[in-house]
């Protein structure tokens, strides 16, 4: 079966700045694929190439077995939700969605019906006649997601779909993304690593325009470990600073006066009994008695290891 998206040796530069460099990536059909990277890693450029908005300087981009710029073959089969998608502020939302449906090849009746179904899917069926300027930020964000659902596309690109949403709206959008991934292929860009780990079957990590890791989520998180430690006494800051100096630790985060998290290197996470004994010994050396120690597989730990180590290597060079 052809891939949902395949990049082969793709490079793209803007005014001499390399946005992507020799990226080869295959995204299988079906399920949800996470695309990660710090700001400036090349994620938006990759999405723009996949959507046919840009052409690569070198390499090839294929979408659903066709050239990404072959709009005749891909019309209505691919949709994209940009991070800052906007509607005309004074035109009824339902009418705008129906217009977008017509642009994707639907008849007038089909477009109106598709607009209604998409609004119902994002719990906005009762606002079709309202202008976007009268909607809250969360409602406008869900309306943008409705646009990405028009016409039953086979491949959906979502760029930060939950950014800026309150917890309830974010939860509902995640449920929609999860449902979408059961029926078609979803490529999800997000800075929320917990969200990516929760929703995605596969993941790719970009750093400064290069692909540094890609594969099934289970493989990427198998040896990546997050350890959350809760102390009996309020000494989290001091304990986190001490344990953070260990070679096995990538980074630390203090959550409260008694609680903190450690992100460990994959090589250390592979020896969970050994690292647990080391952490406990260091705590007890300073009379920091743990009330609870919990560990879990962590995409965030793997992401931090890859990006922090790469940054340190560049600084050393």
pLDDT of residue 106: 86
**Starting from the edge strand earliest in sequence, which strands make up the sheet with 66-67, in order?**
17-27, 5-14, 58-63, 66-67
> DSSP for 75-126?
TTTEEEE-TT----TTS-HHHHHHHHHHHTT--HHHHHHHHHHHHHHTT-GG
Q: How far apart are CA 135 and CA 266, in angstroms?
A: 45
202 within 8 A of 28, measured Cβ to Cβ: yes
Angle, CA of 41, 221 and 199, to the nearest 5°: 75
pLDDT of residue 303: 86
**Domains of the chain by start residue, with CATH:** 5-215 (3.40.50.300), 222-316 (3.30.70.920)
Assign 112 a pLDDT band (cuts: 50, 70, 90). Answer: very high
pTM of the predicted structure, to 2 decimals: 0.78
pLDDT of residue 223: 66
pLDDT of residue 121: 84
Mean pLDDT value across residues 128-154 = 87
pLDDT of residue 307: 79
Q: Which residue has the higher pLDDT, 234 or 263?
A: 234
81 within 8 A of 147, measured Cβ to Cβ: yes
Assign 248 a pLDDT band (cuts: 50, 70, 90). Answer: confident
pLDDT of residue 98: 93
pLDDT of residue 203: 94
pLDDT of residue 187: 95
Mean pLDDT value across residues 221-238 = 87
Q: How far apart are CA 21 and CA 130, in angstroms?
A: 44
Angle formed by the axes of helices 93-103 and 108-121, to 10°? 120
């Amino acid at each position: 079966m052809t891939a949902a998206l395949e990049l082969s040796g793709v490079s793209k530069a803007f005014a001499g700045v390399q946005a992507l460099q020799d990226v080869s990536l295959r995204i299988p059909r079906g399920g949800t694929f996470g695309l990660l990277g710090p700001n400036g890693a090349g994620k938006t450029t990759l999405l723009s190439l996949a959507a046919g908005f840009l052409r690569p300087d070198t390499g090839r981009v294929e979408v659903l077995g066709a050239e990404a710029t072959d709009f005749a073959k891909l019309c209505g089969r691919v949709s994209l939700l940009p991070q800052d998608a906007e509607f005309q502020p004074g035109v009824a939302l339902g009418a705008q969605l129906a217009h977008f449906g017509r642009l994707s090849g639907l008849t007038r009746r089909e477009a109106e019906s598709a607009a209604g179904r998409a609004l119902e899917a994002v719990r906005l069926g009762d606002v079709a006649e309202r202008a976007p300027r009268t909607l809250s930020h969360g409602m406008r964000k869900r309306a943008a997601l409705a646009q990405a659902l028009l016409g039953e596309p086979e491949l959906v690109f979502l760029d930060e779909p939950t950014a800026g949403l309150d917890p309830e709206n974010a939860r509902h959008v995640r449920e929609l993304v999860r449902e979408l991934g059961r029926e078609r292929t979803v490529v999800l860009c997000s800075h929320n690593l917990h969200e990516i780990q929760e929703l995605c079957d596969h993941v790719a990590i970009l750093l400064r325009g290069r692909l540094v890791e890609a594969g099934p989520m289970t493989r990427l998180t198998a040896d990546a470990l997050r350890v959350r430690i809760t102390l009996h006494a309020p000494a989290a800051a001091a304990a986190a600073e001490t344990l953070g100096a260990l070679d096995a630790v990538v980074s630390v985060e203090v959550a409260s006066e008694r609680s903190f998290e450690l992100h460990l290197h994959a090589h250390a996470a592979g020896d969970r009994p050994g690292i647990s004994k080391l952490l406990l010994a260091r705590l007890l050396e300073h009379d920091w008695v743990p009330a609870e120690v919990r560990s879990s597989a962590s995409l965030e730990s793997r992401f931090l290891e890859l990006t922090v180590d790469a940054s340190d290597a560049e600084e050393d060079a």
